[in-house]
Amino acid sequence: MVPSHLRLPLRFVLRIFLHHRWRVAATVAGIATASLLILVQASFFFGFRDAVTAVPLRAKADLWVAASGFRYFDLTRQLSDRDYYQVIRHPAVVQATPLVARFAEWRRPDGGQELVQVIGFPLEADIDLPWNLPDEQRGALGLPDTAVVDAIYRDKLGLTDRDLSAEILGRRVRIAGTTTDIRSFSTAPLLFTEYRAAQSYGWIFGDQFSYLLVRLVPGSDLESTRTGLVALGNGELDVMTPAELADKTTAYWMRTTGAGLGLATGIAVALLIGSSIAGLSLHTMIQHYAEEYVCLRVIGASFPFVAAILVAQALLFMASASGIAVILANVLSRQIRAAGGTTLLPGWVSLATCAVLVAIGVAMALFSAHRIIIRAEGAAR
């Protein structure tokens, strides 16, 4: 039920919507376009971050251990079995899983070459890699010289239904399964395979690997365990949470490539321009009916009453336009991602954008109400 003191303002606003449909539609379209600009730019930024942090944030681990001097996930110095035994000694560590992450040269069946990023791990380890892989295909990784890649990269790697084999460093590899929706920012597809096979593909000696994925005893203190592991490594190990590793990787790519910084700047510019367009579109609509609002004030309508009309108008405009923009942005983001792009639009980003635009609308409504009251008082004199 609508409170009685809001019924008349809402009725007034609804009449504007019904009797001036084309003007209302133009205003809503302008605000929706501005909102869409913000959301699409945001989807590219968060898609970029999702691509560069895909493995660290999805692998099941409480802590990641890397060689000291770690900068970003894609390239790191190798650890050895000695580091594994130092880590597993800690009483809070229940599991330490070695993981290989190395770039390798993929020789296509037609003789062409592509760069791939090999991710290798013991198949018996419970670390949730790779994700989005059908259960019936997961067992195929246990076969010799097999790997899994995302379906979107089949053409890039020269794979066909008749020929799913290629070579890495002269060693035969066969694609035994395909994942969905796993993207790579570096354009090198992620190739998931068994631990020993990954070592041979990446020119890694038998006792070396890239990371240790550490699982802790339930209830263990994370910070004290981290401190203990660093001490056991004698300063030769970097110990990070998945979020910290992801943040370092994101920061590295943003600084060195400029792509992330460009996308972040794009969001800021889109937010500034989009907010300005949305605010001006609403302001123009309000000013079109300014004389009517002034008349309301002159004949005795209170400031709260006039403000309630304008705020209700702003809420309806902003909410409807933002809703349209969110739907369009999600459809567009999914289409781009399905085509191989790196876009992602989290729900909280859509809600935050809507909240910002609604706040701008309310502020513009209150500002306009104040201006109308000043004009009405001038007319009354």
Place of tokens 């449909």: 21
pLDDT at 137: 85
Label residue 343 exposed, middle or buried (CB < 10 Å: 0-12, 13-18, 19+): buried
Averaged over 66-87, what is the pLDDT?
92
Which tens digits make up the pLDDT trace of 276-287? 887 777 777 777
- The answer to whether 226 and 239 have CB atoms below 8 angstroms apart is yes
pLDDT at 6: 55
Using DSSP's 3-state secondary structure scheme, residue 176 falls into: strand
Residue 173, H or E segment: strand 171-179
Q: What is the mean pLDDT of the chain?
A: 85
Which tens digits make up the pLDDT trace of 303-328? 777 777 778 888 888 888 889 999 99
Averaged over 7-17, what is the pLDDT?
66
- The CB-side HSE value for 258 (13 A sphere, CA atoms) comes to 0
- The answer to whether 115 and 105 have CB atoms below 8 angstroms apart is yes
> Residue 305: what residue type?
F
Report d(CA 360, CA 339) in Å as an integer: 35
Neighbouring C-beta atoms of residue 149, cutoff 10 Å:
26
- The answer to whether 353 and 42 have CB atoms below 8 angstroms apart is yes
pLDDT at 376: 59
Report d(CA 7, CA 1) in Å as an integer: 10
> Taking the domains of the chain in order of start, what are their residue ranges?
4-52+259-380, 63-240
Q: Does 148 or 161 have the greater pLDDT score?
A: 148
Q: How far is CA 359 from CA 275, 306, 330, 350, 365, in A?
A: 10, 18, 22, 14, 10
